[in-house]
Amino acid sequence: MCIFAPVKTEIGQDIQTAASFLRNGALVGIPTETVYGLAANALNPDAVLQIFQVKGRPTFNPLIVHVHDAAQFSLYAEELPDVIKLLAQHFCPGPLTFVLPKKSVIPDLVTGGGNTVALRVPGHPLTLQLLKSLDFPLAAPSANPFGYISPVTALHVQEQLDGKVAYILDGGPSMIGVESTVVMMRGESLVVLRVGGVSIESLREVYPNVVVEINQSSNPKSPGQLKSHYAPRIPLKLGTISELLNRYSHQKIAVLSFRETFNHSAIIAQEVLSREGDDAEAARNLFAALRRLDQTNADIIIAEKLPEKGLGMAINDRLERAAADH
């Protein structure tokens, strides 16, 4: 097992440097259109184990395996239903992850001991080039300490994992800002296990029989199902902003709102996700805004939900998990 522990983790855009580290069993931060990932050779259990160690992530929590083309799904999955092939044509590369029966080449550590594997083609040109230069797929959860806010820039990764990652491939800010949607087939139904960068409406345009099952579990069967996740260090409360301001007026408050700016003597910081009410813009801004609020000296962060449409569902899911008791 190769554990590379630099004094300070370098940020750069050298794909060959990133590839060399990965071939040698080290961890690399990679950009995707959703959030930055903490990548290792998915076929090397020793390399994958480092992901769990560096993140402090429980090993029963499955990882997503990234490939450069949906045609590679058949290398790692036992079967590809026609609906999955259809969805892959529409959404790959992109923020959609498919949970499929796994082949034995995928280590059990990657799947949390389960018999399915989560596969996706990331929609970021640098990471696609990186994947094409490798002869193995990459296991890559978000590149942050387990349970904390997901990173959407290379600097976010460095701030949290400096000295624990061999290299960070800098692809600029993540363009979507929330993790991928996770789906699987059950009979004739497409089951959504995690809402994310592909909206339910978009899925139904391609395949109408979509069932949403957003389970919050202490023993997840797919990535993104843990009840408490994406959380700032400052406690977060979710509800109506005006009511929360009255309830916590005796404390120093940081506000995370969708469109509106609020005035109150207890507010010491606030972030507005989209003054135009654009759910895609709100998704791009979500994790960076949460990070900025978490770096204040507020006693509490209060936040409101978005309308349950488009990426609003994914944002609300992240906020609910961020507000869950640890």
Q: Hey, where are the domains in the chain?
A: 10-176, 236-323
Predicted TM-score of the model (pTM): 0.92
Strands 138-139 and 37-41: what pairing?
Answer: antiparallel
| Statement: residue 220 has pLDDT above 80 | no
Under the banding of pLDDT at 50, 70 and 90, the label for residue 298 is: very high
pLDDT of residue 221: 60
Cβ 319 vs Cβ 311: under 8 Å: no
**Residue range 85-112: mean pLDDT, rounded:** 97
User: Residue 318, exposed/middle/buried by CB under 10 A (0-12, 13-18, 19+)?
Assistant: buried
Quote the mean pLDDT of the chain: 94
Any idea how long the chain is? 326
pLDDT of residue 223: 64
pLDDT of 309: 94
Q: What are phi and psi of 254, to 5 degrees?
A: -110, 135
Joined together, the tokens standing for residue 318 give 């992240």
- Count of C-beta atoms within a 10 Å radius of residue 308: 11
pLDDT of residue 324: 87
| CA-based nearest residue to 154, from 286, 35, 297 | 35
Q: Are strands 96-101 and 116-120 parallel, antiparallel or unpaired?
A: antiparallel
On the question of pLDDT at 111 being above 90, the answer is yes
Q: How confident is the model at residue 63 (pLDDT cuts 50, 70, 90)?
A: very high
Please state, for a pLDDT cut of 90, what percent of the chain lies above it: 89
What was the pLDDT predicted at 227?
Answer: 61
Residue-wise pLDDT for 221-250, tens only, equals 666 555 667 789 999 999 999 999 999 999
d(CA 56, CA 54) in angstroms, rounded, equals 6
Q: Look at residue 326 and tell me whether its pLDDT is greater than 50.
A: no
Select the more confidently predicted residue: 217 or 12: 12
pLDDT at residue 172 tops 70: yes
pLDDT digits (tens, 9 = 90+) for 263-289: 999 999 999 999 999 999 999 999 999
Assigned fold of 10-176: DHBP synthase (3.90.870)
Instruction: State the number of CA atoms in the 13 A half-sphere of 206 facing the CB.
Output: 16
Q: How confident is the model at residue 222, as a pLDDT?
A: 61
CB 109 within 8 A of CB 45: yes
Superfamily of domain 236-323: Threonylcarbamoyl-AMP synthase, C-terminal domain (3.40.50.11030)
Tokens at 2, concatenated: 């190769």
Q: What is the pLDDT of residue 3?
A: 55
Which residues are registered as beta bridge partners of 51?
none
In angstroms, the CA 295 to CA 307 distance is: 27
